Chain A
Amino acid sequence: MRNFYIIILAVAVIGGGVLFYAMRGGSAAVEPVDLGELEQQELIDMAQPAGVYGDPDAPITIMEFADYQCGACKQFGLFIKPQLDAAYIRTGQAKLVVHDFPRFPHAFLAARAVRCAGDQDRYWEYHDLILHSQEDWSPMKSVTGHFNDLAKELQLDTRAFGDCLASDSHADVVTANLRLGEALGVTGTPSLFVHRGGPPVIRLGGSGFLDIQQAIEGEGEN
């Protein structure tokens, strides 16, 4: 009996340890990570955008700080982006650059999920799909299953996607994006900036098509 109780105790200790590790976070990153102290240029270099829509050499850049769980970001991504596409992006005048600014509970994992899809060159498809299904996954307690389902729907390499999502892949870059937004004074999403590769950087008061049109036309006149 003594050996039996030793085995039971060992199983309890090992099992408890594994559970403790898993409940503390395991290896899957679902919230910003510690980047330590970064110089401004280091932060800019690190905060690579999640996606660039349009010609990377287009003279005008429309920067969006987005949270995939925010309703207004869904509106922007699904309804304003096509208008921008028709008016400025397809003509080669502008490009849309999306930066992560995850504030809602599932937004950090969502930002990582979209970047995991980006690893397989399917960023924009996943971006649109995750926004389309936002109302489905937003109230969920655990969204991993849904994000994996979306990857399956897009016929991604689900093993690679699952591994990416369950790890801390892109956690540093998403965190750097968040810190860049904070450094630029972003407090809500979507927050938009328009520039021509340098100053003046115009910060938009709204996220409607007319706000952007006004900024681009006005900026072009300068």
Chain B
Amino acid sequence: MTAPARLSGLELPAFATPGIKGPGHGSPAGAGPPRNRMAVAVFSLIGAFLAFYLLASNLGWTPPVPCGAGDCGTVQSSKYAKVGPVPVSGIGLAGYLALLMLSLAGLQGRLASSRSIPLLLFAGSLSGFLFSAYLTYLEAAVIKAWCRYCVASAIIITIVFAATLPELKRIRGGSGP
């Protein structure tokens, strides 16, 4: 067990000290685990379920996705629904799971103050956000059909991306909320 560290008279919890290389990394003393990472974890998990459902439907593991407007089929059967042999929903699932793992890791004592977690979280969510924006553009301008589940996923990744913005501060060396 790591002994509590003393810094300028303040006693920090043991979980906050390992890996600290300078001031401001991880959560400030007494602030608790980063709340933005909790939000990333929750929304990434929701996104992962959604992506898995679309992937399962795409691979024929489930009955047709009930779409209502009937445009989900158009989107899912378009040539843009796959990148090479990989369904877009599969890429989404992998992305959401990676963000979920990173955010959960970023809530654990030893890793909370890691320098790489903020970078990976921000880079991952930014990639997802840009990819999702591109897919939304394709739906609107090229396929000219909307899939409500894809739109829901776009909203989720936007929330996840917004929730990772405080990581920028941690990347630069400040402390996030």
Chain A positions within 8 Å of B, measured between CB atoms, are: 1, 4, 7-8, 11-12, 15-16, 18-19, 22-23, 25-30, 109, 140-142, 144-149, 151-152, 158-159, 161-163, 165-167
Contacts and interface: CB of A to CB of B under 8 A. Distances in A.
B32 A1 contact: yes
Interface in B59-88: 59-77
23 contacts: A1-B107, A4-B33, A4-B42, A11-B45, A15-B48, A15-B49, A16-B49, A18-B49, A19-B56, A23-B61, A30-B63, A109-B64, A142-B58, A142-B59, A142-B64, A145-B75, A148-B70, A152-B74, A158-B71, A162-B68, A162-B70, A163-B70, A166-B66
B52 interface: yes
Given A4-B38, A26-B62, A159 B68 contact: yes
B41 A152 contact: no
Nearest to A141: B60
Contacts of B69: 158-159, 162
Contact of B57 (A142, A151, A165): A142
B63 A25 contact: yes
Given A1-B33, A4-B38, A23-B56, A161 B63 contact: no
A22 B54 CA distance: 11
A28 B65 CA distance: 8
Contacts, number: 112
Most B Cβ at <10 Å: residue of A4, A12, A109, A140 = A4
A8 B60 contact: no
Contact of A15 (B45, B62, B63, B68): B45
B131 interface: no
Contacts of A142: 57-60, 64, 76
A139 B134 CA distance: 29
Contacts of A151: 70
Given A28-B63, A162-B70, 5 more contacts: A4-B107, A23-B56, A28-B66, A148-B73, A162-B69
Contacts of A165: 64, 70
Sorting the interface of chain B by its residue count into under 10, 10 to 19, 20 to 34 or 35 or more gives: 20 to 34
A27 B77 CA distance: 21
A163 to B, nearest CB: 6
Contacts of A163: 66, 68, 70
A29 B62 CA distance: 11
A159 B64 contact: no
Nearest to A3: B38
A146 B73 contact: yes
Contact of A8 (B45, B49, B59, B68): B45
B123 interface: no
Contact of A149 (B49, B53, B61, B73): B73
Contacts of A29: 63
Contact of A144 (B45, B56, B64): B64
A165 B58 CA distance: 16
A85 to B, nearest CB: 31
B138 interface: no
Nearest to A167: B66
B46 interface: yes
Contacts of B42: 4, 7-8, 11
A146 B77 contact: yes
B59 to A, nearest CB: 6
Given A142-B59, A149-B77, A19 B52 contact: yes
Contacts of A158: 69-71
Interface string B105-146: 001000000000000000000000000000000000000000
Contacts of B59: 141-142
Most A Cβ at <10 Å: residue of B46, B52, B64 = B64
